Amino acid sequence: MQVGKLSVRKIKERIGRKSSARLRETLQSALKSDGWRDLSKKLAVARRKQLALNLDEINELAKDGDVVVVPGRVLSQGMITKKVKVCAFGFSKRAQEKLQEGKVEFAHVFEEIKTNPSAKNVRVLA
């Protein structure tokens, strides 16, 4: 996957081809900040190439206090036992239920970009 080789110009071209208004808006706001530019490269790929992680995989990769960003979808297998905030482009319905049950904070990537434009303490999982 040629994620690292996408230029800003190529990402802007791809934004126009995206059918999801939410994805277009997320990509545009991610491009405005240097801290989120790496995430925009990962979200600009085809949907079939976007990452999908289960809750147990996130739990293994995250550390307490992290803001974990998944450039794709969060699926429901497993549980999160650590104190983290999970941000993703999408969540399965069951994953949202499990996160609420476990009192884990979660949000859409676009909301995190607005509240944390400098991407401070953010860890993008890939």
What does the angle CA 35 – CA 41 – CA 45 come to, to the nearest 5 degrees? 155
Q: What is the pLDDT of residue 4?
A: 54
Residue corresponding to tokens 């941000």 = 87
Q: Helix (H, G, I), strand (E, B), or coil: what is residue 86?
A: strand
Distance from the first to the final alpha carbon of the chain = 12
CA distance 96 to 118: 26
Query: Domains in the chain, please, with CATH?
Result: 8-124 (3.100.10.10)
Averaged over successive runs of 10 residues, the pLDDT of the chain (126 residues) comes to 67 86 90 87 86 95 93 95 94 96 94 91 87
Q: What is the pLDDT of residue 2?
A: 43
- How many CB atoms within 10 Å of residue 20? 12
- Phi, psi (degrees; rounded to nearest 5) at 105: -75, 135
Q: What is the pLDDT of residue 67?
A: 94
